[in-house]
Amino acid sequence: MLPVIALVGRPNVGKSTLFNRLTKSRDALVADLPGLTRDRKYGEGQLGEDQNYIVIDTGGITGDEQGIDYEMAKQSLQAIDEADIVLFLVDGRAGLNPADEVIANYLRKTSKPCHLVVNKTDGLNPDVVIGDFFSIGLGHPLAIAAAHGRGVTSLIEYVLEELPELTEESLEVMAQVQKGIKIAVVGRPNVGKSTLVNRLLGEERVVVFDKAGTTRDSVYIPYERDGRNYTLIDTAGIRRRKSIREAVEKFSIVKTLQAVKDAHVVVMVIDARDGITEQDMHMLSFVIDTGRSLVIALNKWDGMTAEEKDEVKEQIERKLEFADFARMHFISALHGSGVGNMYDSVEEAYDCAMAKWSTSKLTRLLEDIVADHQPPAINNRRIKLRYAHQGGSNPPIIVIHGNQTKSLPGSYKRYLENKFIKVLAIKGTPIRFEFKSSE
Ligand code: GDP
Ligand code: GDP
């Protein structure tokens, strides 16, 4: 689970500059889910070799919001809600501003760890500049120059170290979680995620656990079923949800992203009554980009007319071709129909995502495939494919070695890939192929 750092402060204090510095040279988080966020930007940062975190940039708060500014301030407040750590940026050149005090008042009331960061201290004496800001009452101000990178790495080191430690009890649950298949249930608000989570759990006795020190509403539910261990990662937060309205407000992109990244198998829930929406498509592309295995549930299948069902099936053909590796289930989470079968698909997707194949097996398979249908000749030389080995799992990667592989036509690659998928009986997980040339 990645820690989440939110950047807040008045406009022009340097939030975007800091955001860009922290996330630069990193792949974008693909948090590009249009229609779900407005002014918040999400990115992934990295400290050292392996400490990753999520950064949220916000529109900026002035403390005196009306109209569009009010909307921006609301975005900032939601970002604070999603964060584990809040960095409150102020402008060291402009000095203390009344609006800073308004924001500080708000931050003092939240339970999140907040740090006061004085930016634009380049060319100034940091010790003198921060003197101005002690009176704000958020502890020792930290001086940086985001535009030049000064103090930025030590700032992140410092704030990540301050994250609360996991308690004894939560460590125990985490050990339980590590044992089994982690299933993330994701989807738009109101599609039936909570209802499905309850159905999947059935009568199992569970200890619901909110991971301490991370995003507030992430709920991990380890349990046993037929002697196997599972953990449901519930992005809807079944325990706290009091009304549908509240669930809508609590829908969190960060939570969804983290759950997907942390899962072995993603169960993507779609409300069949709404058809396949743009937002469903975006979320699905994100899941597929992360390489997670996938099971799709078309929910609320109860009480739909034959015509409506045909319409949805037609949409699936047309829009979901890119997800055709996933099993699809038409279910009613409310009545329970079709839900039990989903476990078979989850197991299958997990087994395929984690499968291990020996180099000799893959190479034999490659030889058979090539014997059936040779690659074409390029410049009068036949392209030779010599051997194959596994380059990784979850998602599986198959590396194929030969010569002139760069010249392999797309149609031949597809032939090869489809054969591998068929013979290895891979279902439920995306699979990646890499071609390596020895000359
Ligand atoms: P935001 O509105 O809070 O996102 O602020 P921006 O990141 O857009 O920065 C506002 C202005 O401050 C830009 O002109 C930046 O170049 C400038 N700025 C940001 N960081 C620094 C810094 O460390 N030193 C100086 N001198 N200027 C900075
Ligand atoms: P979430 O926001 O995705 O967790 O959605 P909920 O599980 O809270 O469900 C939203 C609404 O859809 C609730 O009123 C559920 O009773 C209803 N619902 C969930 N699953 C089904 C289903 O299979 N059929 C029907 N008819 N309603 C459902």
Mean pLDDT in the chain?
A: 83
Is any atom of ligand 1 closer than 6 Å to the C-beta of 233?
no
Q: Is the pLDDT of residue 408 over 60?
A: yes
141 assigned to a ligand binding site: no
With a CB cutoff of 8 Å and minimum separation 6, the contacts of 343 are 200, 225
Report the distance separating Cα 114 and Cα 121, nearest Å: 20
With a CB cutoff of 8 Å and minimum separation 6, the contacts of 48 are none
Is any atom of ligand 1 closer than 6 Å to the C-beta of 430?
no
* H and E: helices and strands count for the chain: 14, 18
Cα end-to-end span (Å), the chain: 42
Question: Which of 116-125, 253-262, 324-333, 388-397 has the lowest average pLDDT?
Answer: 253-262
Question: pLDDT confidence of 250, banded at 50, 70, 90?
Answer: very low
- Percentage of the residues of the chain whose pLDDT score is greater than 70: 82
| Stretch (H or E) spanning 158 | helix 152-161
CB neighbours (10 Å) of residue 432? 13
With a CB cutoff of 8 Å and minimum separation 6, the contacts of 126 are 92, 118, 143, 151
Question: pLDDT confidence of 357, banded at 50, 70, 90?
Answer: very high
pLDDT, greater one: 104 or 63? 104
Is any atom of ligand 1 closer than 6 Å to the C-beta of 76?
no
pLDDT of 150 reads 93
Report the distance separating Cα 255 and Cα 82, nearest Å: 8
Question: Which of 21-25, 30-34, 84-88 has the lowest average pLDDT?
Answer: 30-34
Is any atom of ligand 1 closer than 6 Å to the C-beta of 13?
yes
Question: Which of 39-53, 250-264, 334-348 has the lowest average pLDDT?
Answer: 250-264
Q: Is the pLDDT of residue 206 over 90?
A: no
Q: With b meaning 16 or more CB within 10 Å and e meaning fewer, what string describes 286-323?
A: bbbebbbbbbbbbbbbbebeeeeeeebeeebeebbeeb
pLDDT of 244 reads 38
pLDDT of 110 reads 78
Counting ligands in written order, the one closest to the CA of 20 is: 1
Best mutation site among 188, 195, 241, 304 for ligand 2 pocket (most ligand atoms within 8 Å of CB): 195
pLDDT of 14 reads 92
pLDDT of 221 reads 82
pLDDT of 258 reads 78
Question: pLDDT confidence of 215, banded at 50, 70, 90?
Answer: very low
With a CB cutoff of 8 Å and minimum separation 6, the contacts of 322 are 284, 285, 288
Mean pLDDT of 219-241: 75
Mean pLDDT of 359-378: 93
Its pTM stands at: 0.66
Report the distance separating Cα 58 and Cα 41, nearest Å: 7
Closest approach atom of ligand 1 to CA 9: 3
- Percentage of the residues of the chain whose pLDDT score is greater than 90: 48
- Provide DSSP, 286-340: HHHHHT-EEEEEEE--TT--HHHHHHHHHHHHHH-GGGTTSEEEE--TTT-TTTT
301 assigned to a ligand binding site: yes
Report the distance separating Cα 70 and Cα 215, nearest Å: 25
Question: pLDDT confidence of 161, banded at 50, 70, 90?
Answer: confident
pLDDT of 292 reads 93
Q: Is the pLDDT of residue 11 over 90?
A: no
